Amino acid sequence: MKVAVVGATGMVGEVMLKVLAERDFPITELLLVASERSVGKKLTYKDQEHTIIGLQDAIVSRPDIAIFSAGGDTSLEWAPKFAEIGTTVIDNSSAWRMDPSKKLVVPEINANELTVEDKIIANPNCSTIQMVMALNPLHKKYQMKRVVVSTYQSVSGTGVKAVRQLENEIAGVQGEMAYPYPIGRNALPHCDVFMENGYTKEEMKLAREPQKILDDRTFSVSATAVRIPTAGGHSESVNVEFHNDFDLSEVRKLLSETPGVTVQDNPETNTYPMPIYAHGKDDVFVGRIRRDETQRNTLNMWVVSDNLRKGAATNAVQIAEYLVENNLVISTSEAVS
């Protein structure tokens, strides 16, 4: 595969390259793509130095797969241009997620919906991915009615500017602010921009994306998204009401048997998921599994994952792996011939 990583110099792009190398993705030629200000710079992949190129040069090179992590505006403008020449685009922005003509994919859940005709594939929001990974097996068994989720999200979800703000605050250094308030020793109930309904865009992603991924609009999701001063990893308090009753031991068994999910749930030994231990791992960790004693058929759980890996880079690479393994990528050279 000739693979382009668009946004290679960004936080997610760097993790993308790391994940591609770790998983030994079959790359015959790697194109590292970034904005004009980064063109000509060097990056190393598998001990080999690569020169950053621009988007137009990447188009000319006709990659078979292009993994985008360069923001929604870039994706809206450039993803169709890549798709037009036969490249399969996996996009990490929110640009295409709710487009009814595009698939929104978590491989463990709905990769089987992909076809060779899908030329722009959307990667879900990081918080959505970890939540649906935990909810999917339970929804199949007990049928969800309503989900209430509160997130505790790392500054890395905002980007390098926010990470720098937190580091500056810890060091007592005045610097550029990514947020309207200090983030150190604080919690901001403000992820993304506010909308007319009083929710933020992040909260509405959590409300809408799970329905599309699970192909089911019979359940509802209400979300509150909070930014906290952790360097990596998102946490979520998930309260889910089912139509059918459940057994807690069966819930733990279902989650334990779900690929990509690890159960860490033993209050006696203080065993529960935490972002500090999820860092650098690809699994979604679930713990604090307990019955909501105030309402019938309702479960509480705590869900944690590395937002830059399974929440972004790893999920995108897994989509690419599925496409290759199932012969759903047509080489652009073949497309031309």
Query: Taking the domains of the chain in order of start, what are their residue ranges?
Result: 2-95+313-336, 127-306
Q: Is pLDDT at 138 greater than 60 in this prediction? A: yes
pLDDT at 331: 80
Catalogue the E-assigned strands of 55-205. 65-68, 88-91, 103-104, 120-122, 144-153
CB atoms < 10 A from the CB of 189, how many?
11
Q: Which of 50, 126, 139, 191 is catalytic?
A: 126
Task: Name the residue type at position 69.
Answer: S
Q: Is pLDDT at 336 greater than 70 in this prediction? A: no
Q: Which of 50, 139, 234, 279 is catalytic?
A: 234
Higher pLDDT, 337 or 293: 293
Pick out the residues of the known binding site for substrate: 153, 227
Pick out the residues of the known binding site: 9-12, 37-38, 97, 153, 156-157, 227, 307
The answer to whether residues 285 and 278 touch, using CB atoms and an 8 Å cutoff, is yes
For domain 2-95+313-336, give the fold.
Rossmann fold (3.40.50)
Q: Is 126 a catalytic residue?
A: yes
Residues recorded for the chain = 337
Q: Is 50 a catalytic residue?
A: no
Place of tokens 């599309």: 212
Pick out the residues of the known binding site for NADP(+): 9-12, 37-38, 156-157, 307
State both tokens at 113.
């919906």
Per-residue DSSP letter, 124: P
Are 2-95+313-336 and 127-306 equal in CATH topology?
no
pLDDT digits (tens, 9 = 90+) for 21-47: 999 999 999 999 999 999 999 999 999
- CA dist 90 and 320 (Å) reads 8
What does the DSSP assignment read for 205-219?
HHHHHHHHHTT--SS
pLDDT at 329: 94
Q: Is pLDDT at 337 greater than 60 in this prediction? A: no
- CA dist 1 and 179 (Å) reads 40
Pick out the residues of the known binding site for phosphate: 97
Is 134 in a helix, a strand, or coil?
helix
What does the DSSP assignment read for 235-270?
EEEEEEEESS---HHHHHHHHHTSTTEEE--BGGGT
For domain 127-306, give the fold.
Dihydrodipicolinate Reductase; domain 2 (3.30.360)
Per-residue DSSP letter, 125: P
The answer to whether the predicted template modeling score (pTM) of the entire model surpasses 0.75 is yes
Q: Is pLDDT at 82 greater than 90 in this prediction? A: yes
